[in-house]
Amino acid sequence: MDWIPISDLNITSEIKAIHCDTRDFHCGLSTDNINFKDGDNRQITKVFYNNDYNIEESKVKDWLLNLFNISGGKAVWRYLEFDSENCKNWNVKYIRLYRNPKRPNMFVVCNRLEIPIKYKECTEETLNKEQLNLND
């Protein structure tokens, strides 16, 4: 998987998954179909119809850019953490977004462990600024 800067992110209908490394906000894109019938994806399938965990395709890039900006913008490295369930410690080192097969214009937002997260709770107010450790 090639990694591209967040600024170059272009989401097309062929994209099935987006993996964003929040240390530098580069993204890896996948066009491979995901087997959601696999038992490992049970947590994701449970939230297919829950809007707290699904983001519209057209809003993905703006949401990721907002996270980039509120966490310091261009930086060599950062440690991203929010005061939200499943968004502490290294859990959002990667943000993983999976195209929802039941709602094809939506992506399920997950942490690095592929556990769905309430993406709207990842805000500047809930950002743990003491942990950012930004470097120029």
In a domain, residue 104? The reply is yes
In a domain, residue 30? The reply is yes
What confidence score (pLDDT) does residue 54 get?
A: 98
Give the Cα separation of 118 and 131 in Å (integer): 20
Q: What is the pTM of this model?
A: 0.93
How far from chain centre, in Å, is Cα 92? 8
Q: Is 8 helix (H, G, I), strand (E, B) or coil?
A: helix
Given a cut of 70, is residue 115 above it in pLDDT?
yes
Sequence-separated (6 or more) residues with CB below 8 Å from residue 31: 14, 15, 16
Given a cut of 70, is residue 134 above it in pLDDT?
no
In a domain, residue 80? The reply is yes
Given a cut of 90, is residue 117 above it in pLDDT?
yes
CA distances for 86 relative to 39, 90, 122, 134, angstroms: 20, 9, 11, 22
In a domain, residue 29? The reply is yes
Structurally, the chain folds into a number of domains equal to 1
What confidence score (pLDDT) does residue 135 get?
A: 63
**Per residue in 28-70, pLDDT tens?**
999 998 888 766 778 899 999 999 999 999 999 999 999 999 9
In a domain, residue 55? The reply is yes
In a domain, residue 136? The reply is no
In a domain, residue 28? The reply is yes
How far from chain centre, in Å, is Cα 67? 10
Q: How buried is 54 (Cβ within 10 angstroms: 0-12 exposed, 13-18 middle, 19+ buried)?
A: buried
**Which structural domain range is residue 89 located in?**
3-131
In a domain, residue 50? The reply is yes
